[in-house]
Amino acid sequence: METSKCPFNAPLITHQFGCSKAQEVVRRGGAEIECTDSTACTRCQALFARLKSVALPAFGVEDDLLSMPHSVLVKIQHGGLLGLQRELTGTATIADKVDDIDRLATDVNARYGDSVPVDTVIEDIISFKLRARRR
């Protein structure tokens, strides 16, 4: 079985979101999420790249893992998925979780193809509030 690191790792690690293709793997550095389906992983990677390409300029950061705050990537993952879910359902309010990221990515891809409406979810990304750390 071929596996790849999930581009939406952050919301899955915290168990706030779910995905039918996700598998948690524990390594020396801690837990990671791998995708068990290469087609689904490729679809999610393309979706995340599109979200990131629009969101990074809005945050005023470059795509450099050494200088970009981790919180920016987390906001892109959480807020982007929640915003896309809001767009698909057509509701004015934003939900607090996504039950199946793979299904959401499949539905977004089926409805919008390569023209994913990331410009309409940028506010969801920017306004997403990170949870406070537990002490």
Does residue 134 sit within a domain?
no
Q: Is residue 99 part of a domain?
A: yes
* Order of strands, sheet of 22-27, starting from the edge strand that comes earlier in the sequence: 4-5, 30-35, 22-27
CA-based nearest residue to 76, from 20, 127, 12, 120 = 127
Residue-range definition of the domain harbouring residue 50: 4-127
133 part of a folded domain = no
Q: Does 135 map to a domain? A: no
Q: What is the pTM of this model?
A: 0.88
Mean pLDDT along residues 32-43: 95
Structure confidence by residue, pLDDT tens digits, 99-133: 999 999 999 999 998 888 888 899 999 999 887 76
pLDDT, tens digit, 9 for 90 and up, residues 44-90: 999 999 999 999 999 999 988 788 898 999 999 999 999 999 999 88
Total tally of structural domains belonging to the chain: 1
Would you say residue 132 lies in a domain?
Answer: no
Q: pLDDT tier at 1 (50, 70, 90 boundaries)?
A: very low
Give backbone dihedrals phi and psi of 75, rounded to 5 degrees, phi first. Answer: -65, -40
In a domain, 47, yes or no: yes
